[in-house]
A and B are shown apart, each in its own frame.
Chain A
Amino acid sequence: MSHEDSARKNHDDIVQYSATRPFWGRLTNWQPYRLLLTFATASPRRQFIILAAFPLLWLLTQHLGPMIQMARVSLLESYPVAQGAPQNFTLDNYIRFFGDHIFWMPFFRTLTFAAVFTFCTLILTYPVAYFLARHVSRHNQMLMLLILLIPFWVGEIVRTYAIMILLGNTGAVNLALKWLGLIERPIPFMYTSFSMGLGIVYLTALYMLLPLYSALEKLPKSYTEVAADLGAGAWTRFRRITLPLTIEGISSGCTLVFLISTGFYATPVLLGGPSTTVFAETIAGFFHYAGDEWPTGAAFAVIMFAAALFITGLFQKLMKALRRGDTK
């Protein structure tokens, strides 16, 4: 076949292609498109830059930007900075937190509550995840997991309100207890750390359940069967095999739930009382006004985020050490 022939054949192909796929054919034969494409794909490097430029710009300005701006405002002496006035940077906003112990109480309460609630969520959801992953047939697993997903699509405020109705003085729990004759006067569940805990565990349970479930599901059944053949009891099997091999799921679930728990604002406001004020409410307090308190609020938010990250970092290190220790 001569050169000319092959060129004609090629041309025929393109024409045929255009005829069967008018849109794509027309697009790929369109001159400006071809020029643009030749320019964009001239080198792998240029192709990568075109792919990466916009997302990277987005990450820096939209994901990182708010964090950096918050850190900057937390160091300002006053905000908003008056026109023409110099920006004075200061550490006073941070010193204010360490200098005044009325801020410490909600701060440590938030971290303690978050840790306790995370632990409760773990204890509550581990058996559920274990049951789903190890004792339910493949087909039913999806269905039974789906049942659990439904309530978690419902918003934070609606679920918080549902807990308020459950636990109120004329709520379902008190009614049931009275009907059973266990109590005469309603127990004041609401506006305590109990109601807050129940609400927060309710909101975060799924974020624990899913990592645990996927860790347990990956664990081959044969591992525990072999251990059983070798004479290990149920508890030993769990402690020596299942638990160490699902520590990754535990670690990521706990990290997620801890971070989420420290950030709740509406739930503590609605379910908690004066004795359970959390740091989120303290921070929010600085933002109810026009702006003169913003630097303090920003500093407090930075302190809380740093503390939460420090604790989760420490926790993950500990989990890693545990895993290494157990598999040795």
Chain B
Amino acid sequence: MNRSNRIVLACVYWAFVLYVFVPLILMILMGFKDSKFIGFPIRSWTLDWYYSIFSDAEILYTFGYSMLIAILSTLISVVIGTWLALLLEGRKFWGWAVTFGLMVLPALVPGIISAIAFRIYARWLGIEPGMGAIIWAHAVHNVPFVSLVVMARLSTLPKSQTEAARDLGADPLVAFLRITLPYLVPSILGASIFCMLLSFDDFVRSFFLGGYEETLPVLIFAMLRSGMSPEINAIATIALVLTAAIGIWAERFTRRTNKESQL
């Protein structure tokens, strides 16, 4: 009974793996098709679409633009998210629950509503749509993810460590910089990678807050609305390989450092 259950569940798991992988694999294959027409079957193969991307300055510029936005917004989110985590973790104060609720708010607001709320607020602040506005919106949206990850890590830091540092004469700031912060580094790095991926992949905020320059997802969206072409597949494949590689690397990195600090 248990055995047959197990087999059925294993089949469900592998079917799910197929469901999440097959569309992406097909999309990658289509980027090598030697025809402008999107569709199966694929009879002959080519690398032309990749050549045309790497010789297209505009597309390369869009890649760089998206990455720059991802890095700058992540820097802001990481500083503020960590600061919030230090305030919230292991401390009880009047209004804690409300503060926590406000902290996670940007992650819970549905995409379209968050995008237009940012759009309205940016206009009120006098921020023109464009790079600055996108960086700001991504930074605010990503803060909760940093805070939650850092809070989880901070809760595992034994209190005795900072107390020992204080007993040995370190002032609170030195104790923080030399004990707490190094302990948090793996989680901060993991959270930054996650933020960069969120920012790089984000469509709805970039779409509503963008100026004339497009981020990569907005560019792909615009291309898709005017028709499908294997060139889009090639662009999407590069974006996919980039994000997946960074994600896997970050996952391995945080796992390794977590293991080391447990020893």
Q: Write the residues of chain A forming the contact surface with B, with a CB cutoff of 8 angstroms.
A: 24, 27-28, 37, 41, 47-48, 51-52, 54-56, 58-60, 62-67, 69-70, 73, 80, 124-125, 127-128, 130-132, 135, 142, 144, 146-159, 161-166, 168-172, 175, 202, 205, 234, 256, 259-260, 262-266, 269-270, 280, 283-284, 287, 291, 294, 297-298, 301, 304-305, 308
User: How many A-B contacts at CB < 8 Å in the complex?
Assistant: 242
With A56-B99, A128-B13 as contacts: A151 and B39 at CB distance below 8 Å? no
Tell me if B248 counts as interface (CB < 8 A to partner A): yes
A51 to chain B, nearest CB (A): 6
Q: How many residues of B contact A (CB 8 A)?
A: 84
**Is B173 an interface residue, CB under 8 A from the partner?**
yes
Which listed residue (B39, B103, B111, B239) contacts A170, Cβ 8 A?
A: B39
Give every chain B residue within 8 A of A234 (Cβ-Cβ).
Answer: 1-2, 5
**Chain B residues within CB distance 8 Å of chain A:** 1-2, 5-6, 9-10, 12-13, 16-17, 19-24, 26-27, 30, 37-41, 80, 83-84, 86-87, 93, 99, 102-103, 105-106, 108-121, 123-124, 140, 143, 171-174, 178, 197, 200-204, 207-208, 217, 220-221, 224-225, 228, 232-233, 236, 239-240, 243-244, 246-248, 251, 255
CA distance A54 to B22 in the complex (A): 47
Quote the shortest CB–CB distance from B83 to chain A (angstroms): 5
Closest to B91 in A: A48
CA of A73 to CA of B117, assembled, Å: 10
Residues of B within 8 A of A263 (CB): 109-114, 204
Q: How far is the CA of A94 from the CA of B105 in the complex (A)?
A: 24
Q: A153 contacts which of B220, B232, B243 (Cβ < 8 Å)?
A: B243
Cβ distance B45 to chain A, nearest Cβ, rounded Å: 16
CA distance A63 to B144 in the complex (A): 10
**Contact yes or no, B22 A166, CB < 8 A:** yes
Give the CA-CA distance A169 to B103 in the complex, in Å. 45
A283 CB to closest chain B CB (Å) equals: 6
Contacts of A146 in B (CB 8 A): 248, 251
Chain B residues with CB below 8 A from A264, complex form: 111-112
Q: How far is the CA of A69 from the CA of B217 in the complex (A)?
A: 27
Contacts of B203 in A (CB 8 A): 155-157, 265-266
Show 24 A/B contacts (Cβ-Cβ < 8 Å), sorted by A.
Answer: A24-B174, A48-B93, A56-B99, A58-B80, A63-B102, A67-B117, A131-B6, A131-B9, A153-B197, A154-B24, A157-B224, A158-B236, A161-B232, A161-B236, A163-B23, A170-B40, A172-B26, A202-B20, A259-B108, A259-B110, A263-B110, A266-B204, A298-B120, A305-B113
